Amino acid sequence: MEASSATKGPFWLGVAVAPWTAPLIVFGFALARTLMNEGFDGLAHWQFAVGIFLFFIVPVSYLAMFALALPLLLWLRKLGRLTWLNCCAGGTVIGAIAFPAAMWLISSASSPALVLPGAGFGLASAVVFCIVTRPN
């Protein structure tokens, strides 16, 4: 893959990989919590958890990337302002908006307490994007 002029690494690979960050964090915490509380017996219904992961959490993460983050990244790249700081700041804000919105879609109720984890997920995804693309 060819790197863009604003990055030292492949821009589109970063766009493809970064949305997996938050779902993998959520899945990892859920798996760890299940193992700590119920042991390996808690994994009896792992197919359901993998289904939720693959058919809801990952698509919602990609929706946030393509609807919110990608336009921001392309705009920053066009302005020559695609930097770690701008990517991470944008990812944090997008995560703080997208995660509570996704939870609202599931339960029709959202809490301000979801803003902080959402911001963390957005920041983590932005860091992964920056690691892959190495912006200038």
DSSP secondary structure string for all residues of 1-48: -PPPTTBSS-HHHHHHHGGGHHHHHHHHHHHHHHHHHHGGGGGGGHHH
Please give the pLDDT value at position 1. 46
Write out the two tokens for 90.
């944008």
Q: pLDDT for 63-95, tens place per residue?
A: 999 999 999 999 999 999 999 999 999 999 999
Residue ranges of domains in the chain? 11-133
What are the beta bridge partners of residue 7?
135
How far, in Å, CA of 1 to CA of 16, rounded? 12
| Of 105, 83, 96, 104, residue with least CA distance to 123 | 96
pTM of the predicted protein model: 0.86
| Of 89, 120, 115, 91, residue with least CA distance to 104 | 115
Place of tokens 């970063």: 14
Is-contact 98 119, C-beta < 8 A? no
| Neighbour tally for 133: CB within 10 Å | 27
Q: pLDDT for 87-129, tens place per residue?
A: 999 999 999 999 998 888 888 777 888 999 999 999 999 999 9
Radius of gyration of the chain measured on its C-alpha atoms: 16
| Of 125, 56, 55, residue with least CA distance to 94 | 125
